[in-house]
Chains A and B, each alone.
Chain A
């Protein structure tokens, strides 16, 4: 099934929520400055810093959370670890940039269960992965396989880097040669003109 974007839109926040929030801010800012001692500012700053630190830590935890439900887990922890390792390399096709281990989509759930069934049946990692590629194509792999069609993708950046580096080296060498090159000797006419100019300057 298609996952339709059904998240609440923050831009369409209802008016009363917004006004409530604004009024709360304005209450805080209009609180008498005289009552708040400067030392409290430092404490408040520390509290704010700690709060944001905790928030950041919690957020970073959230990205590592997996959508695997307890009922899906295999009893054998080794097998489950293999399943999770494979699952992390498989794309959830309806969310496109999540792995099936991270996605809550029902298709991801189906593929997770299928993957675990295959492993229980005794498939190797490669066999299990191949069985899913056979159904959904190579697009299901989050890392595209290295093959002639993807050489540009895999090696292109390296080629560009080497080419760029070579270009910089060539350019620097060219500039260096320009700077140390000795100009050709003056012709007799130029010598005599230089003489007269110097003599004029001396006078």
Chain B
């Protein structure tokens, strides 16, 4: 029985190795932060629009929507542009944009060049709305349910895999309830 004590270091090693293996698994990105805003009401905003019509939170309530923070100076945003275009044109997802810390002219130029997937775009020139949402880098995409609560956040460019495996199922579930 006493000899079992000598297995203790091995046991400790296995526990440590287990933690390391968890932290090193390929699907884990330590830079992704869990949003503190999940299941909380989205912060109020009423923004001037890029093309005339403004964007206000209250007007979005009633059905689940997607809010995408983007900027013309943001290179990864261009990466996710095709995915957003597909969401808007093929899946007919209500997608709204918030132009984060940007010049309206630059944003318009970008959208004419790469295509505009948004139903409407609000301008957030000083980043206040982004700050209230807890945005720490563009692009970020938020899923809001019909009562205006934040249900999910995607950090960084949306990928086709995230859309198929997470976003679309979530939106389907939200649409039913």
CA distance A154 to B131 in the complex (A): 30
> Across the two chains, which residue of chain A brings its CB closest to B36?
A137
Provide the residues of chain B in CB contact with A2, threshold 8 Å: 76, 137
Quote the shortest CB–CB distance from B139 to chain A (angstroms). Answer: 10
Cβ of A106 under 8 Å from chain B:
yes
Instruction: Evaluate contact between B33 and A110: CB separation under 8 angstroms.
Output: no
* CB of A50, distance to nearest CB on chain B (Å): 43
A40 within 8 A of B: no
B166–chain A nearest beta-carbon distance, Å: 20
Instruction: For A135, give its contact among B74, B76, B132, B138 (CB under 8 Å).
Output: B132
Query: Are A1's CB and B138's CB within 8 A?
Result: yes
- Please tell me the number of chain B residues within 8 Å of chain A, measured between CB atoms: 21
The one of B36, B134, B137 that contacts A1, using a Cβ cutoff of 8 Å = B137
User: Do B134 and A137 touch (CB < 8 A)?
Assistant: yes
- Please tell me if B34 contacts chain A, counting CB pairs below 8 Å: yes
Residues of B within 8 A of A133 (CB): 36
Within 8 A of A (CB), among B67-99: 71, 73-74, 76
A114–chain B nearest beta-carbon distance, Å: 6
Chain A count of residues within 8 A CB distance of the other chain:
17
Are B34 and A137 in contact, CB atoms less than 8 angstroms apart?
A: yes
Contact B136 A136 (CB under 8 A): yes
Residue contact B138 to A139, C-beta cutoff 8 Å: no
Name A109-141 residues within 8 Å CB distance of B: 110-111, 114, 133-139
Q: Are A114 and B36 in contact (CB under 8 A)?
A: no
Contact partners of A134 in chain B: CB under 8 A: 36-37, 40
Return chain B residues, CB-CB under 8 Å to A137. Answer: 33-36, 134
Contact with A along B34-74 (1 / 0, CB 8 A): 11110010000000000000000000000000000001011
Does the CB pair B136–A93 fall under 8 Å?
yes
* Other-chain contact of A93, B33, B34, B37, B127 (Cβ < 8 Å): B33
Interface flags for A51-88 (1: CB within 8 Å of B; 0: not) read: 00000000000000000000000000000000000000
Cα–Cα, bound, A14→B45 (Å):
50
CB-based contact A135/B37 at 8 Å: yes
- Do A136 and B101 touch (CB < 8 A)? no
Question: Is the Cβ of A1 less than 8 Å from the Cβ of B131?
Answer: no
- Asked whether A107 is an interface residue with its Cβ less than 8 Å from the other chain, the reply is yes
Query: How far is A111 from B40 in the complex, measured between Cα atoms in Å?
Result: 20
A–B Cβ pairs within 8 angstroms, 28 of them: A1-B73, A1-B74, A1-B101, A1-B138, A2-B76, A2-B137, A93-B136, A106-B101, A107-B136, A107-B137, A110-B127, A110-B131, A114-B131, A134-B36, A134-B37, A134-B40, A135-B36, A135-B37, A135-B132, A136-B36, A137-B33, A137-B34, A137-B35, A137-B36, A137-B134, A138-B36, A139-B33, A139-B34
Inter-chain pairs besides A94-B137, A138-B36, 5 sampled, C-beta below 8 Å: A93-B33, A134-B37, A134-B40, A135-B132, A137-B134
